[in-house]
Structure 1
Amino acid sequence: MPTPRKEQVSKHINGHYHCISRAVRRAFLCGVDKQSGCNYEHRRQWILDRLKVLAKQFSVEVCAYTIMSNHYHLVLHVDYEQSLTWDAEREN
């Protein structure tokens, strides 16, 4: 049975987490799909740009990453203390 996220990640302990996300049904995330011939390489930069934005929003440091054709890996460091310095009206 899966463990709830609130029991996996503690906001009071600055930890490192290895996160994986995978495409389903043999779909391509990046690169050239050999079956259809479609090129999805443009998504790689989109993922990197989005990752930078989200890391700032959630007080997370991206320690390492790799983006493969059908999945990606992230090593993240949660910085709870940094988020305590933010006020409610914080601009990005």
Structure 2
Amino acid sequence: MIRYSLRCADDGHVFEQWFDNYAHYEAQAAEGALACPSCGSSKVSKMLAAPALGASTITHRPAPAPACASGGCAAPAAGTCPAMAD
């Protein structure tokens, strides 16, 4: 399934619609079967969109913990941890 953001040419209404695949969208667009739900215009075009990325395609590395927070200092007094100093 593909979700496209669409816009009507008459009034600029923006809406989303789901399609089985790109060919399904193209067939409906060619037949004039797409209509704006706000005004009913059949002059509808697909908007540019960023691709959706799945979690498996994103590499996430957490930031390293400061030395004091990871046990690098032996129970430092408040405000005296060298790793936390500016």
TM-score (norm 1): 0.23
- Kindly indicate which of the two structures has a greater share of residues assigned to helix: 1
Question: Bigger relative contact order, structure 1 or 2, given CA contacts below 8 A and separation 6+?
Answer: 1
